[in-house]
Structures are given as C-alpha cells and as structure tokens.
Amino acid sequence: MSYDLIVIGSGPGGYVCAIRAAQLGMKVAVVEKDKTFGGTCLNVGCIPSKALLHASERYEETGQLFDKMGIKVGKPKLDLAAMMKFKDEGVDGNVKGVAYLLKKNKIDTVQGTGRIAAPGKVEVKSAGGKSETLEAKAIVIATGSDVARLPGIDIDEKRIVSSTGALVLDKVPERMLVVGAGVIGLELGSVWRRLGADVIVVEFLDRILPGIDNEVCRQFQRILERQGIKFKLSSKVTAVDANGKTLKASVEPAAGGAAETIEADVVLVSIGRVPYTEGLGLEGVGVRTDNKGRVMVDEHFATNVPGVYAIGDVIAGPMLAHKAEDEGVAVAEIIAGQAGHVNYDVIPNVVYTFPEIASVGKSEEELKAAGVAFNVGKFPFTANGRAKINHQTDGFVKILADAKTDRVLGVHIVGADAGNMIAEAAVAMEFGAASEDIARTCHAHPTLTEAVKEAALAVAKRSINM
Ligand code: FAD
Ligand code: NAI
C-alpha cells in the first residue's frame, strides 16, 4: 500500500497528527504495536491516573467534607475492585473513541511493530510474525516514551512497580515508598495515601517537582505533608531487597554517606521517562538521536533523513500529551505545505493532586536567571469567596509580569481546580496580554477564577479583596 503519510504510534501525538493530515486531504496510515490505540496517555498514563485521582479524591472528600456540609453518609468504605473497574471503563471509552475517530477520518490502521526499512518504507511485523511493507511520501515517528529504570532494581510490576503497575494494584499497600518527587510520584502517591497507604517519597534533589516555581513547590510540599505524605529529600534509593515478605529499600544521602533501611510493601519507581525507539530501525536509516536517546529534529520536526519527521515524547521538550498533540497538528500542516507551529513558551503544566498545581510560562527563578525585571501579583484563595464557601482555601495565584511592558510572563496556581483555571492564562499569554488586560476582564462571581483577576490587580498593587 502507498500513502501520503505513515504515522508510527497512536498516542496523543500520533493519532492527532493522523487526523489533522487526513483533514488536509492526505491518505494516511497509523501503525500501532499495542492492541488498543491512544498510547501511554490513554492506556497507562493520563487517563487511568486521572480516573483514580478523581475517585480517590471523592473518597477522601466523602470522609472529610461531607459531614461538615451536613451530608450524613457514614464512614466511606473502599471497594478497590470497583474503583479499578470505574478506571478501566474510562480507559475503554477513550481508546474506543480514538478507534472511532481514525475510522471516521478514513485513516488505515495497521496493527504491528513498525520499522523504518528505508526512507519512505515502513515494515510492519504483526504479533503473529507476519510482515508487510507500506510505502509513503512522509513518515512521522510518534513512538513516545517508556519508564526510566534504576540500575539494579528490577521492576516486577507487582511489588516494585512503575506507574503502570501502580495503576493496577489489587490491594492498598500498608506502606508505599515512592522514588522520585516528580509528577507521577506525587499524583500516584496521593492516590494510594488517600486510599489508606502510609506514603514516603524519597527524592534525589533538595526540592519536589523540579522545574516548577520554588514558592509554589514549598507551599505544596507543606500541604502534602499536612495530608500525611512524608518526604525524604536529598536522598537516593540505591537498592531494594525483595527477598523477604516486606521490601527493604536502602536509602542514602544524595551526596553519599551512611545508608538507612526503609521497609515498604510496594516501591513505586517514578524517576522520569525515556524516549522509546526500540525496533524502529533508526540506526539502519541513519536517523540521528541525541545523548538521551531522543530523535533529533529541526524546528519543522524534520529529522536528518528526508521525509522522516518526529514528534511527542520521543523528541526533546516536556513529556506532555498536549505538547505531543500540538506537535502532531503542526507537523501535519508542515507536511501539507502550511506553516504549522508550536509556541513552546505557552505550554501549560498541571499536576492533578489536591490541590492542583498549574503553571504556564516562566517561573520566578527562570526570569531572575535571564535577568528579566518583573513585577509579582499574588492572591491567596483564603481571600476568595468561592474557595471560602467550599472550604478549599489552600493555595494562591501568582502572576509574573514584565516590569516595563506589563506583559504576562508566567502564571502559577496552587489550588482546587487550578488545571482548569490555567487555560485563561494560556489564552491571555498567546495574545500577548498585559496583566492589566486580565485585571480589566470581567470574571464571574463567585468563582475561583476571580483569584486570577485579583492576582492581576495585585501586580499593580490594587487588589480589591485583600
Ligand atoms: P505515547 O503516548 O507514548 O504513544 C506512543 C505509541 O507508539 C504507543 O502506543 C506505542 O505502543 C507505539 N509504538 C512505539 N513504538 C512503536 C513501533 N515501533 N511500532 C508501532 N507502534 C509503536 N501528560 C499530560 O499531559 N497530562 C497528564 O495528566 C499525564 N499523565 C501521565 C500519567 C502517567 C502515569 C504517565 C506515564 C504519563 C502521563 N503523561 C501525562 C504523559 C503523556 O502520557 C505523554 O506525554 C504522552 O502520552 C506522549 O504522547 P506520544 O504520542 O508522544 O507517545
Ligand atoms: P519527573 O521527571 O516528573 O520526576 C522524576 C523525579 O525523580 C525528579 O524529581 C528527579 O529529581 C527524581 N529522581 C531521579 N532519579 C532519582 C533517584 N535515583 N532517586 C530519587 N529521586 C530521583 O518524572 P515522573 O514523575 O516519572 O514522570 C515522567 C513524565 O511523565 C513527566 O516528566 C511528565 O512529563 C509526565 N507526566 C505528566 C503528568 C501531568 O502532566 N500531570 C502526570 C504524570 C506524568
């Protein structure tokens, strides 16, 4: 078969790219090695983790807040199997949705592992061992990423788990040790703590969530500690002894020194993800990768081999579904001769814990390092009417605006529903808004978004409700 475009991988990068290319009139095929479409995000990432975060948050809320609101339901009882079914149904609905969209857009789907045999040629091997070769004018590599492993620590996905195993535990562990205070560690650590586990997080650095604004992280760590998560910063796990009934993890200071043993029933290894290019045949065709194994591309997502492009987790940049999606759209438009583009300065980042953390643009530390003069406007949720009536007053909104032009350079939110609220900031920044633009925009009352307006007012020191 001959196509205009073959996309290898059906995650948020790949399937979105295929649909945009089909909209632009191309004949498109998607090659996927797994049984279902949607990649990491839909099968073992964003979607199942958010389902468990949602369900476990409701579980905790029922136990803690309902009584205060005058709703007497007694002590909630956990039916973990039913919660897992709730999650699986969400995944099922989403992966079927992608299959429907691919069909609707008349995109051919080929089940099997794709290997670039030559520029314009993709050999697909099915699980049964059958192989066929497809031809195309362009190939997009959208093969995503895989779990990063710790040397000497074997992930069995039962007791020593990656995020994939942590999404399917059949029993709440009494003690869970999380290696890495990044997004996965804090989201899935929160899930299992809410369901009853005693959670300790061991982090190599002296702070949680590297890359996120320091002030946000400091307050967030205090909130998580109040919720019961323990942290051991500047520390590393060097070994896990899995011989006994309980796991024994050796934990050392990051700089080296005496080790201590921490016992746990489950160890979650969440120290990052690595690009996935296994079996793609990159070396054979000469596609260049960098020292982290990421496929190297230019600003048009083109690799060094003509007609071969790459997007999503397999290239540099934040490993986020919406970043992969936007690159999918951009590369399809570029291949069609249009001016596809991704604005990397305005990619929102959300951690779906409670409260949520959401940010877009630069942090204070980044602006200081770049020597940019800026003003700060901050507004706490303790002064927001809606947060007060909901009894959800943890957190704040912080807006960083250029000292000379007032242009918004970064927005950082810790608070309930921060992930939805950050969209306003992203739109404002895409349009080059000043903080005054946000401050003069009418925000509905009573909503949490009024805290965004108040933070914008606070940039010019004229907040009303504080
Ligand atoms: P992937 O989604 O990894 O898809 C790649 C696809 O390619 C896979 O289906 C794979 O089977 C297929 N493939 C690989 N090699 C071949 C081959 N040779 N032939 C055929 N098929 C192949 N991001 C967010 O933005 N928000 C979140 O809330 C979020 N939560 C996450 C939670 C967890 C637990 C994890 C692990 C990740 C989360 N992410 C989240 C990150 C997000 O999942 C990724 O950024 C996103 O999936 C990347 O999309 P992609 O299309 O580049 O790759
Ligand atoms: P991460 O990069 O977010 O965090 C990994 C953490 O582990 C870092 O804090 C790092 O300093 C620490 N670390 C590394 N080696 C260590 C060691 N040996 N000992 C102790 N700590 C160590 O990676 P994570 O959490 O695994 O997530 C992977 C990716 O998935 C993220 O980069 C993110 O892009 C994506 N993701 C996004 C989500 C979202 O958008 N809400 C949710 C989950 C994942």
The span from the CA of 147 to the CA of 298, in Å, is: 26
Pair 422, 360: CB distance under 8 Å: yes
Ligand 2 mean position, distance from CA 273 (Å): 7
CA of 209 to the centre of ligand 2 (A): 8
Ligand 2 pocket, Cβ-based, cut-off 6 angstroms:
150, 179-185, 187, 202-205, 210, 236-237, 270-273, 318-320, 350-352
CB-CB contact of 94 with 88 (8 Å): no
**With contact defined as beta carbons under 8 Å apart, do 208 and 217 qualify?**
yes
The DSSP H or E segment spanning 111 is strand 108-111
- The protein residue with its alpha carbon nearest to ligand 1, atom 30, reads 46
What residue type is 391 in one-letter code? H
Ligand nearest to the CA of 35: 1
Whole-angstrom CA distances from 251 to 61, 94, 212, 310, 446 are: 33, 39, 25, 38, 48
Cα separation, 340 vs 325, in Å, equals 12
CA distance 113 to 2: 18
Q: Tens-digit pLDDT profile for the chain (466 aa)?
A: 899 999 999 999 999 999 999 999 999 999 999 999 999 999 999 999 999 999 999 999 998 999 999 999 999 999 999 999 999 999 999 999 999 999 999 999 999 999 999 999 999 999 899 999 999 999 999 999 999 999 999 999 999 999 999 999 999 999 999 999 999 999 999 999 999 999 999 999 999 999 999 999 999 999 999 999 999 999 999 999 999 999 999 999 999 999 999 999 999 999 999 999 999 999 999 999 999 999 999 999 999 999 999 999 999 999 999 999 999 999 999 999 999 999 999 999 999 999 999 999 999 999 999 999 999 999 999 999 999 999 999 999 999 999 999 999 999 999 999 999 999 999 999 999 999 999 999 999 999 999 999 999 999 999 999 9
Written as one string, the DSSP assignment of 244-308 is SSSEEEEEEETT----EEEEESEEEE-S-EEE--TTS-HHHHT--B-TTSPBP--TTSB-SSTTE
- Which ligand lies nearest to the CA atom of residue 311 in the structure? 1
CA nearest 377: which of 426, 319, 433, 436? 436
The answer to whether residues 398 and 463 touch, using CB atoms and an 8 Å cutoff, is: no
Q: Residue 294 carries which DSSP code?
A: P
Tokens of 93: 């609905």
Cβ contacts of residue 285 below 8 Å, gap of 6+? 116, 117, 118, 119, 305, 308
Q: Which residue has the tokens 């080296």?
A: 256
Phi, psi values for residue 96, rounded to 5°: -65, -35
Specify which residues 379 forms β-bridges with. 397
Rounded to the nearest angstrom, the distance between the alpha carbon of 182 and the centre of ligand 2 is: 4
**Tokens in use for 291?**
């020292």
Whether 391 is catalytic is: no
CA distances from 12 to 29, 41, 283, 325, 326 (A): 15, 7, 25, 5, 9
Query: Which tokens in the block code for residue 438?
Result: 């946000």
Cα 11 from Cα 381, distance rounded (Å): 36
> What is the spatial distance between Cα 128 and Cα 82, in angstroms, rounded to a whole number?
34
What are the DSSP calls for 385-429, one per residue? HHHHHHT----EEEEEEETTT-BEEEEEEEETTHHHHHHHHHHHH
